[in-house]
Amino acid sequence: MFKKILIANRGEIALRIIRTCKEMGIKTVAVYSTADAESLHVKFADEAVCIGPPASSESYLKMSNIIAAAEITNADAIHPGYGFLSENAKFSKICEEHNIKFIGASPEMIEKMGDKASAKATMKKAGVPCVPGSDGILESYEQTEKLAVEMGFPVMLKASAGGGGKGMRAVWKKEKLRDAWDSARHEARAAFANDAMYLEKLIEEPRHIEIQIVGDSRGKACHLSERDCSIQRRHQKLTEETPSPFMTDELRNEMGLAAVRAAEFIKYEGAGTIEFLVDKHRNFYFMEMNTRIQVEHPITEQVIDFDLIREQILVAAGVPISGKNYTPKLHSIECRINAEDPYNDFRPSPGKITTLHAPGGHGVRLDTHVYSGYTIPPNYDSMIAKLITTAQTRDEAISKMKRALDEFVIEGIKTTIPFHRQLMEHPDYLAGNYTTKFMESFKMEAPIED
Ligand code: MV4
């Protein structure tokens, strides 16, 4: 087993990883930028190394500084968390070359799944359902138009290097295809220096349902059921839940089997997520694979009583998994608390937290690195906490969430707490009747003055 793990991340996820390491008797090294000197992950780690100035490109993304920090502290593994270097093939390779275990995917796996057209081709070969469309990369506009007309509109143009919706265009008629082609390619070239595109049939009003999987070094994989992440705004998830209110036992079996087939086909090692689009008829299609731990992993941990970070560490150390698939017996919901003003188009609201009162009680979990007196730097993601409630039923998890949100006091900055409080009363949310289009029509009600 590893003796010392360096956590190449910040914020709540760095703290989350440190907690599991402590429970496993593994020493921890935090790295931090000068903007994060007062962060809890720095205080709770056994050692901490400053790796640069506030800009991510000069600190949390600076591979040479992170490797140097691992070498001077004698860390034998690096956990990258999510974001930053977690799906960077070059970093995974550099760790390998320095004999430091990267607790994540191999460089080859990251490359294969990072290119969306190649990931899709691989999944098709594995027998995982994929959205009908082009066989790989489009060679010309003429070919694209011919194929789109054959398939029938609406279609979706997607950048192969994409993700997060960049370089993606829905096209409803032939007359609009040329402009969409030009602008999507332009956007992809600017964002990824790669304008390779592929084409799919548009899935209208889909749900985003993902399956958590874990694979081990023997090539065995299992699934840990689903998370419904359909409530998103500009490709940022706001809240997630498991089980999905749209799920049936039959669909879970099929999707779980497809996810396990996918993971075993590519001999995936570690924790990963297979993202699917699910249409209104409950047809499901492979969308993307994430080769990292995800922000929303705690809801899965809550319903199956399983520490996913511990599992990642064990698998990275070569320990085989049990191989059992899971069906949740509880219901869990996560609300992402962001330093943003929901009354003002979710505009970022960094600054000093003057008062903080955290909710608690049975079935309430709060993953956060912030505290009273902490200043949120403007340099990073605006997520400051994840509030997770777990209960026997969906209705009880929602009641608990309402209660916990009401207890949660954060003063000095604006947060998304009022948004979540209103969401928990929305008739379509309460009915479990929502798709990825939900936020397009959501309107905040006026705040209650007091
Ligand atoms: C789609 C789609 C509809 N049809 N593909 C969005 C992110 C990207 N990686 C894939 N995405 C989508 N792909 C087809 N063929 C709709 C989306 C989509 C979406 C998916 C999941 C969650 C939120 C979304 C918001 C807008 C569009």
Q: Give the model confidence (pLDDT) of 295-321 as tens digits.
A: 999 999 999 999 999 999 999 999 999
Mean pLDDT, the chain, integer: 97
Q: How many alpha carbons fall within 13 Å on the CB side of residue 2?
A: 32
Q: How far is CA 5 from CA 31, 129, 438, in A?
A: 11, 38, 40
Mean pLDDT of 2-13: 98
CATH match for 132-201 among 3.30.70.1400, 3.40.50.1370, 3.30.1490.20, 3.30.420.40: 3.30.1490.20
- Mutation test residue for ligand 1: of 234, 277, 284, the one with most atoms within 8 Å of CB: 277
Q: Which member of 292, 310, 365, 403 is catalytic?
A: 292
Over 90: is that where the pLDDT of 164 sits?
no
pLDDT tens-place string over residues 316-363: 999 999 889 998 999 999 999 999 999 999 999 999 999 999 999 999
* Token pair 């590893």: residue: 2
Question: Where do runs of H (alpha helix) occur along 28-115?
Answer: 40-44, 63-73, 89-97, 107-114
CATH classification (class only), 4-103? alpha beta
Q: What is the DSSP letter of 133?
A: B
The closest-lying atom of ligand 1 relative to the alpha carbon of residue 131 is 15
Q: How many alpha carbons fall within 13 Å on the CB side of residue 264?
A: 15
Mean pLDDT of 139-150: 97
Q: Residue 120, Cβ neighbours under 10 Å: how many? A: 26
Task: State whether the Cα torsion 51-237-224-272 is positive or negative.
Answer: negative
- The Å distance, Cα 124 to ligand 1 centre, comes to 18
**Pocket lined around ligand 1, Cβ cut-off 6 Å:** 131, 156, 163, 165, 168, 200-203, 206, 208, 232, 235, 277, 287-288, 436
Over 80: is that where the pLDDT of 365 sits?
yes
Mean pLDDT of 220-244: 97
Dist. CA 167–CA 287, nearest whole Å: 15
**Annotation marks residue 336 as catalytic:** no
Amino acid occupying residue 206: P
Q: In terms of Cα–Cα distance, which of 22, 69, 19 is closest to 40? A: 19
Dist. CA 336–CA 299, nearest whole Å: 12
| Domain edges within the chain | 4-103, 132-201, 207-441
- Parallel, antiparallel, or unpaired: how do β-strands 364-368 and 347-348 relate? unpaired
Dist. CA 202–CA 205, nearest whole Å: 9
pLDDT in the model for residue 447: 83
pLDDT in the model for residue 165: 86
Q: Buried (b) or exposed (e) across 320-346, using 16+ Cβ within 10 A? A: ebeeebbebebbbbbbbbbbbbbeeeb
Mean pLDDT of 423-446: 97
Dist. CA 189–CA 186, nearest whole Å: 5
The distance from CA 67 to its chain's CA centroid, rounded to whole angstroms, is 25
pLDDT tens-place string over residues 89-143: 999 999 999 999 999 999 999 999 999 999 999 999 999 999 999 999 999 999 9
Q: How far is CA 358 from CA 226, 238, 411, 424, in A?
A: 28, 19, 12, 19
CB of 241 within 8 A of CB of 228?
A: yes
- The Å distance, Cα 431 to ligand 1 centre, comes to 23
Q: Which residues pair with 385 in a beta bridge?
A: 337, 368
**CATH topology identical between 132-201 and 207-441:** no
- The domain made up of 207-441 has a fold known as D-amino Acid Aminotransferase; Chain A, domain 1 (3.30.470)
pLDDT tens-place string over residues 174-225: 999 999 999 999 999 999 999 999 999 999 999 999 999 999 999 999 999 9
Helix (H) or strand (E) holding 123: helix 116-126
Q: Which residues pair with 31 in a beta bridge?
A: 49
Amino acid occupying residue 46: D
At 248 the three-state DSSP class reads: coil
- Mutation test residue for ligand 1: of 168, 244, 284, 286, the one with most atoms within 8 Å of CB: 168
Q: What is the pTM of this model?
A: 0.97
* Token pair 């993902």: residue: 210
pLDDT bin (cut points 50, 70, 90) of residue 449 is: low
CA dihedral 263, 281, 278, 184 (to 10 degrees): 120
Q: What is the DSSP letter of 74?
A: T
Q: Residue 73, Cβ neighbours under 10 Å: how many? A: 17
At 28 the three-state DSSP class reads: strand
- The Å distance, Cα 165 to ligand 1 centre, comes to 7
Dist. CA 275–CA 245, nearest whole Å: 17
The closest-lying atom of ligand 1 relative to the alpha carbon of residue 203 is 4
pLDDT in the model for residue 450: 60
Sequence-distant (≥ 6) Cβ neighbours of residue 187 within 8 angstroms: 159, 166, 167
Mean pLDDT of 154-178: 95
Dist. CA 130–CA 332, nearest whole Å: 28
pLDDT in the model for residue 323: 81
Percentage of the residues of the chain whose pLDDT score is greater than 90: 97
